[in-house]
Amino acid sequence: MAARVVPAISRTLRFVNKVGGVEFLIVGVAFVFYYLVRGFVVERTFEATSRAIRILELEQSLGLWAWETKMQAWVMSSDVLAHLFNNIYVYAHFPLIIIIGLWLFFFHRERYVLLRNAFLISGGIGLIIFNLLPMAPPRLLPWPLSDQVVDTMFAFSRVNYDMQPAAFVNHYAAMPSLHFGWNLLLGIGIIWTMRNFFGIAFGVTMPAAMFVAVVATGNHFILDVIAGTVVALIGLGLALLIQRYGNRLWRRANSGL
């Protein structure tokens, strides 16, 4: 009996490893943990809105706020544009992460590992910032400042931000914008992997469209996007170091056994 069971278990484990069962479990747990921890600051409304007001004042002094209002006015000038960028905000985030992640996992495993590490590191940095410095998005600015921003997701698409389970919802995680930062990582990953005209065009256009989407929908300030870029690139840089030196250390450790 044991002679049959052991090989069967071994074959099952090899199959699970091949199709990525363990990997998907690790990533799934990481993202659930990310959203659970991110939701810890939902009651800090005054702190989050006060910080958003200070960011608004800083952007006004830098001339960035004028660009944001012009960008939103352009998107709102057409129902087609409004729906387009609302959908980009929703579907070019986690749905696209899953699609590209699966493609990389099954066909470009080394690149997948690099981006997975970059996502996990940048997500960890984001969690620390969300909890230490919660900040409201422009669409949740208090009156009368709220008159300067339209929540296009609600106004044009009737999107319910609370479609997620309550424990996963955090309206005060605007800084940094990982909506943009993670999209940027996807773009970089596609460019590095495909290395052709289509890959470069898609890898450049996608983050550019997401930049417009996160700002024009009233979900992020431009400074949130800049912060998201910095956090994403830090994650990528550390992931590259892990890829370069971590593998060497692993091989040395194994060779010494």
- For residue 24, tell me if it sits in a domain: no
| End-to-end Cα separation, the chain, in angstroms | 33
Q: Could you tell me if residue 248 is inside a domain?
A: yes
Give tens-digit pLDDT for 84-142. Answer: 999 999 899 989 999 999 999 999 999 999 999 999 999 999 999 998 999 999 999 98
**Whole-angstrom distance, CA of residue 198 vs CA of residue 191:** 9
DSSP string, 36-70: HHHGGGTT-HHHHHHHHHHHHHHHHHHTHHHHHHH
Q: How confident is residue 26, by pLDDT bands cut at 50, 70 and 90?
A: confident
> How many other C-beta atoms lie within 10 A of the C-beta of residue 199?
16
Looking at the structure of the chain, the number of domains it has is 1
Contact, 122 vs 115, CB < 8 A?
Answer: no
Q: Is residue 57 one of the residues assigned to a domain?
A: yes
| Tokens standing for residue 143 | 């009156």
Q: Which domain holds residue 195?
A: 49-255
Q: What is the pTM of this model?
A: 0.85
pLDDT digits (tens, 9 = 90+) for 49-61: 999 999 999 999 9
Is residue 34 assigned to a domain?
A: no
